[in-house]
Structure 1
Amino acid sequence: MTTLLDIKNLHAFYGKSHVLHGVNLRVEQGEIVSLLGRNGVGRSTTIKATMGQVAATGSISFKGDELIGLKAFQIAHKGLGYVPENRDIFPTLTVEQNLLLGEKRGGTARNSPRWALADMYRMFPRLRERQSIAAGLLSGGEQQMLTLCRTLMGDPDLIMIDEPTEGLAPKIVGLVAQYLTELQSAGVSVLLVEQKLAIAMDISQRVYVMGHGAIAFEGTPEDLRNNPQIRREWLEV
């Protein structure tokens, strides 16, 4: 396997607050990797630092290129997608206008993007039905679908998704899981930040567990199932 994202000895800071303490994490080409842990342990900070949104030291290598010191738009042009937890839609624009804003323009070397509007509407027929509606009028689940699809329109090689199932109905959670495995089948790697253990264990090839700004566990979902001490100490409430 080819390593797509390789994070080594990552430290991150919010002002004088030292949040990440030497995080090491990797995502191979074609993998779904989940980053698990309780709220406040540094999971979201890890992907924000990877996207150039948080001051950081150490090394973040993506397809062999160092990302630390680059701006977020430069990182996105290298083929790294990011779906933030707060969704960040443009509420006064229509669903279709939001999707077109995410469309790939230059950046990666591939000539033809893997995804087009028709693909988004095929995967999420509800978005096709609502394509002319202002995005701010969508339900929470529909906004999550829209944010995922808008990021995908940029044709990333790896997509980092922060808590995509937060606040969603169980039926929509299942749809998100199906969507992520479809991305994997199309050759897109996924780094998933998630609190719901079930979805992460079902679709991931490897999982990391964070605690106090550092990685406390790395292994397969089966390894984690067989390690009740790690689950009790770092995951269970």
Structure 2
Amino acid sequence: MLKLDNVHAFYGKSHVLHGVHFEVRAGEIVALLGRNGSGRSTTVKAIMGMVDGSGAIAWRDQPIMGRKPFEIAHLGIGYVPENRDIFPKLTVHQNLQLGEKRGAKDARWSFDDMYRLFPRLKERQHTEAGVLSGGEQQMLTLCRTLMGDPDLIMIDEPTEGLAPKIVELVAEYLRELKRRGVSVLLVEQKLTIALEVADRCLVMGHGQIVFEGTPAELKANAYIRKEWLEV
């Protein structure tokens, strides 16, 4: 579905990605791992058209490098940024409405689905999003993106700073995506959740992919974990 070939990305004169290659297939969860500064978030932003880049990015064999973010979103790619970007003065339900894909008769996701996945959002549906806890805001951002009915969702650090109970809810959310055939590119630092939910793991270091394999293969590779993941 999604394929990157020799992707380079830049912030001004700063060269961040150095020839990134990988793909995400239909219905699979791919975890993109690495330390802070390794290029993971930049990779997702390059796919979404949010940073300057070169190389080739294809979505369903259609080139998307150089397209605007809203055009890429309309093609069926969802993005959950690390900073959440909720609308603080709108209610939970209104935030979800803004994410809704208009005119989609056969959309996979409904408001009831969102409230079933995260019952806390149902309790808070008439509350302004700006007063939600960090965990509740993360739930809302995940669900708002899903309301757009993407075929691939890219999620940047969804468990950062969350309590263990909320982390488990996020893990169940990811499993539900897989059950419904949605592909996921998961940017994570927590090796535990990645090994638990991912079909394949990619490890980044210095703007390049330094490892690709199954969770079992990553678990067995002490050198990669020590060199590129462990603090």
TM-score range, shorter chain: over 0.9
Distance in 2 of aligned mates of 1:232 and 1:34 = 17
DSSP-derived class of the 1:151 partner: helix
The structure 1 segments of at least 4 consecutive aligned residues displaced by more than 2 Å after TM superposition are: none
Q: Among residues 27, 37, 43, which one is paired with 1:46 in the alignment?
A: 43
Amino acid at match of 1:203: V
DSSP-derived class of the 1:57 partner: strand
- Corresponding residue for 2:90? 93
Scaled by the length of structure 1, what TM-score is found?
A: 0.96
Q: Among residues 142, 164, 172, which one is paired with 1:170 in the alignment?
A: 164
Q: Among residues 126, 132, 148, which one is paired with 1:132 in the alignment?
A: 126
Matched, 1:35 2:18: no
RMSD, matched Cα: 0.8
- Corresponding residue for 1:24? 21
In structure 1, the gaps of 5 or more residues are none
Q: Among residues 183, 188, 198, which one is paired with 2:192 in the alignment?
A: 198
Q: Among residues 55, 59, 72, which one is paired with 1:58 in the alignment?
A: 55
- Corresponding residue for 1:208? 202
- Corresponding residue for 1:159? 153
- Corresponding residue for 2:221? 227
In the TM superposition, what whole-angstrom CA distance separates every residue of 1:48-70 from its partner, at most 9, and x where no partner exists? Answer: 00000000111111111111111
In the TM superposition, what whole-angstrom CA distance separates every residue of 1:164-195 from its partner, at most 9, and x where no partner exists? Answer: 00000001001100110101101101000000
Shift of residue 20 of structure 1?
Answer: 0.1
- Corresponding residue for 1:84? 81
Matched, 1:68 2:60: no
In structure 2, the gaps of 5 or more residues are none
Distance in 2 of aligned mates of 1:16 and 1:67 = 23
Shift of residue 204 of structure 1?
Answer: 0.4
Shift of residue 136 of structure 1?
Answer: 0.4
Distance in 2 of aligned mates of 1:223 and 1:57 = 31
DSSP-derived class of the 2:18 partner: strand
Shift of residue 116 of structure 1?
Answer: 1.1
Shift of residue 111 of structure 1?
Answer: 4.3
Alignment coverage as a number of residue pairs: 231
Amino acid at match of 2:71: Q
Scaled by the length of structure 2, what TM-score is found?
A: 0.99
Using the TM superposition, name which of 56-65 and 40-49 deviates more.
56-65
